[in-house]
Structure 1
Amino acid sequence: MATPADRSSPREDGRISTRIRSPSSPPRGSQTAAERLTDDLIIEILSRVPAKSLCRFKCVSKHWLGLTNDRSYRKKLPQTLTGFYQGIELVDSALPFTNLSGSRHLTYPAFVPNRGRVKVLDSCNGLLLCRSYVVCDHGEKMWYVVFNPATEEWAELPKCRYYGPVATKRLCFDPAVSPHFHVFLLLAVDDLHGDYLTGVHVYSSETGSWVHKKKRWSRNIDVANDLPTIYLNGYLHFCANVDGSAGRLAAVDKEGRARTNFRVPGGLDVGFIQLSQGCLHYAGFHTDDDSVVRMQVYVLKDYDRKEWILKHSVETSHLLGGRHVKPLDEDFDWIAIHPECDLIFFAVAQEEITFMCYDMRRGQVTVICNNLEDSKQEYFPYVPLYEELKSLHK
């Protein structure tokens, strides 16, 4: 009787082929369909699934997890949220980063020279807008840089000739629409009637220059610069006061055109906007007639009709460890809504400052990390972009 070591079989040309197989190896017929796929074919399949599905497929096996983490394959795979950069300026030119597991580390971008300082101002679809400056013999030199941490490519923006007050600085980039990015400086004025926007200064990576756009709207818009902004459909969206009325959204495009016909869901406090699963989301707190405080999340599924739909509602006592009070600005800070999943990230200041996550589908609250230095520090969601852009260089 033939043993596994000397089993033979005829080939198509009539010769005898001997296949030597270890007695411990499973028979070929016992392999699953996934185990018979080559690595290149697995990556080709995974590159065609949404980022949310890719996260689940990483759990198929250690081999699949290793493939998705392989730098040579990452360029082909859809990416999802990996963590948050923090808007802290450190003396050693480092960028603080917190991943979804709660571990924190520092990254050192190559564009920062010795003695330089850098701070993240905004993030958008894998790119970071940073402010960097160095101390030299003639004083300080400051400039803006757009940086891709995944490829370590960057571009220094030319000096902007505008020296007036700026309400906010934001990066706008959508790789599905164009390989070029824009940087928005929303210009402001402070007079007897309050603060409001007077126009926008826009940098285009396609032209390599700044362009000033005077305001092309008749209403007074005041941007809430401590809240996130969202780039969608060619417009930069932000929470605002319009003609003195709070609880509105406004949007400005790179031509200086503005939209002010967005109304946020009524009766919500401490709200913020995010882009998740392709739709604008708005979250805030609402107190009902029985004095029960709830966090409510609305979604704008039809952008043109501007109709918000209630997506989720939960009592704050479930989020905040039994406290039924409405969170105050100094106690609570929105961070982000996951771009692919129904997860909300926020920071809470109780006995210590805690970075937390709430799963809207499962109703679960998870602590990501404790002992944050400041609950009001800015967190910028980061989704890696492995595409090389002509507007950036090594």
Structure 2
Amino acid sequence: MENGRMSDRIRSPSSPPSGSETAAERLTDDLLVEILSRVPARSLCRFKCVSKHWLGLINDRTYRRKLPQILAGFYDGGQLVDSGVPFTNISGSRHLTYPAFLPSRRKVMVVDCCNGLLLFSSYAGGDHGDELYVVCNPATEEWAELPHPGHSGDVSSINLCFDPAVSPHFHVFLLPAVEVEDQHGYCLTGVHVYSSETGSWVHKEKRWSGNIDVGYDPSFIYLNGYLHFCAIVDDSARQLAAVDKEGGARTDFRVPDDLNVCFIQQSQGCLHYAGFDRGDNDDDVDRLLVYVLKDYDSKEWILKHSVETSHVFGGLHAVSLYENFDWIAIHPECNLIFFTLAWEDITFMCYDMDRGQVKVICNLEESEPPYFPYVPLYEELQSLHK
């Protein structure tokens, strides 16, 4: 072995300790990662300063999925603000936060959030000024302003896609649409994709078979290199659609039938699909069902959880429930479902699938969906700049 290299490595526990070697240095990489996976994310960030080896280990994409992904709270989206973006802590406390590190104060709206990065729609000149898109990392105060996508028509959605375990680069997907008069709806015409690696947008023409648009329950999940979303195909059938950064499209995911108010999420590395089942007739008991796609290639949904809605939501009638209920998220690492019920106030709640318990987190007053789960990312990215 070359001179001086032993100090940069962690020896096997079976190696005889030297006089200057610490207990931590005698741990194997796998054991050290197991220990680091149990510490808070902020502490993990500080531990990067322990040594070059720890820094390399924590940044190693082989181990990243084992290290903590701590859900800090939820950003409120869909509101154009200039005084602060509402943020709800996981404990229920609320405050306003504004990306003050941006070059100038603008009216902004949170459009999407993915693995620690936020996508803002930013207006430089009031409500109707020039619209810009900005991607930022609140934890490191880094940001990047995107060039104009070159599209001025209707847009069904714009979404941020980023997986730090795979690449330090992010992508932004814009799904343009045109109105289809005979179907009283819209049809996606393709996809615009921005890559932080190239710093430019590319446009891909429509690749779906039939007319397809974003569904009535717009939730978007980035997993396995695809942006997934609930879609309406030919104005009737509900399917799970997906598109990748090259514009490749998929509509070959079947979804569980006859569920109302459906919702997709990513939790514990797998796609989850949730909704309400009213049964075969009006007298049947409503149930909340949660399915998981454990084998992505097989496309087989497995029932993960089933519970009577009366246990979660009390005696709400189905119509009242559907009208006053909104999904928020499924916890990225736990079997917790976050949702709101709207009466005089909007009540932020969660349901623990393992314990069968419901908890009220806080009241949101006049806040409205969407809400974006936020997991801080304490890593500097070359794809962002200050």
With the length of structure 2 as denominator, give the TM-score of the two structures. Answer: 0.81
Post-superposition offset of 1:326: 5.1
- Aligned pair count? 343
Cα 1:91–1:174 change in 2 (3 A) is closer
Provide the C-alpha distance between the structure 2 equivalents of 1:187 and 1:233, rounded to a whole number of angstroms. Answer: 23
Q: Say which of 337, 342, 359 aligns to 2:330.
A: 337
Post-superposition offset of 1:263: 1.4
Post-superposition offset of 1:68: 5.0
Give the corresponding residue for 1:103: 93
Is 1:166 paired with 2:158?
A: no
Give the corresponding residue for 1:196: 187
Post-superposition offset of 1:370: 1.2
Aligned positions of 1:1-394 closer than 5 A: 48-49=33-34, 54=38, 69=43, 72-73=46-47, 76=58, 78-135=68-125, 140-194=129-183, 195-224=186-215, 227-289=218-280, 290-325=283-318, 328-374=321-367, 376-394=368-386
Cα 1:88–1:255 change in 2 (3 A) is closer
Moved more, 262-271 or 241-250: 241-250
Cα deviation code 1:151-192 (max 9, x no counterpart)? 110000011211111110001111111111110100101022
SS of the aligned residue for 1:143 comes to strand
Provide the C-alpha distance between the structure 2 equivalents of 1:121 and 1:47, rounded to a whole number of angstroms. Answer: 37
Q: Is the 8 A contact 2:102 2:143 kept in 1?
A: no
Query: What stretches of structure 2 of length at least 5 have no aligned partner?
Result: 1-21, 49-54, 59-66
Q: Is the 8 A contact 2:217 2:261 kept in 1?
A: no
Provide the C-alpha distance between the structure 1 equivalents of 2:197 and 2:104, rounded to a whole number of angstroms. Answer: 30
Identity, % of aligned pairs? 66
Alignment RMSD, CA only? 2.7
Provide the C-alpha distance between the structure 1 equivalents of 2:33 and 2:189, rounded to a whole number of angstroms. Answer: 44
Cα 1:291–1:78 change in 2 (3 A) is same
Q: Is the 8 A contact 2:208 2:251 kept in 1?
A: no
Moved more, 253-262 or 315-324: 315-324
Post-superposition offset of 1:296: 0.4
Cα deviation code 1:197-244 (max 9, x no counterpart)? 010011110110111111123321111275210111211100001123
Provide the C-alpha distance between the structure 2 equivalents of 1:150 and 1:359, rounded to a whole number of angstroms. Answer: 28
Q: Which amino acid aligns with 1:336?
A: A
SS of the aligned residue for 1:384 comes to coil
SS of the aligned residue for 2:136 comes to strand
SS of the aligned residue for 2:164 comes to coil
Provide the C-alpha distance between the structure 2 equivalents of 1:41 and 1:149, rounded to a whole number of angstroms. Answer: 36
Cα deviation code 1:363-392 (max 9, x no counterpart)? 000001014314x42100111111111110
Cα 1:41–1:314 change in 2 (3 A) is farther
Cα deviation code 1:67-120 (max 9, x no counterpart)? 955863388562321111111535434222111100011222134455511111
Post-superposition offset of 1:324: 4.9
Cα 1:49–1:106 change in 2 (3 A) is farther
Moved more, 117-126 or 74-83: 74-83
Provide the C-alpha distance between the structure 2 equivalents of 1:39 and 1:131, rounded to a whole number of angstroms. Answer: 46
Provide the C-alpha distance between the structure 1 equivalents of 2:364 and 2:85, rounded to a whole number of angstroms. Answer: 18
Cα 1:149–1:50 change in 2 (3 A) is farther
Provide the C-alpha distance between the structure 2 equivalents of 1:118 and 1:50, rounded to a whole number of angstroms. Answer: 40
Give the corresponding residue for 1:33: none
Q: Is the 8 A contact 2:115 2:374 kept in 1?
A: yes
Provide the C-alpha distance between the structure 1 equivalents of 2:324 and 2:238, rounded to a whole number of angstroms. Answer: 21
Larger radius of gyration: 1
Q: Is the 8 A contact 1:215 1:257 kept in 2?
A: no
Q: Which amino acid aligns with 1:73?
A: F
Provide the C-alpha distance between the structure 1 equivalents of 2:196 and 2:322, rounded to a whole number of angstroms. Answer: 37
Provide the C-alpha distance between the structure 1 equivalents of 2:32 and 2:263, rounded to a whole number of angstroms. Answer: 32
Q: Is the 8 A contact 2:42 2:378 kept in 1?
A: no
Which has a greater percent of strand?
1
Cα 1:307–1:271 change in 2 (3 A) is same
Give the corresponding residue for 1:21: none
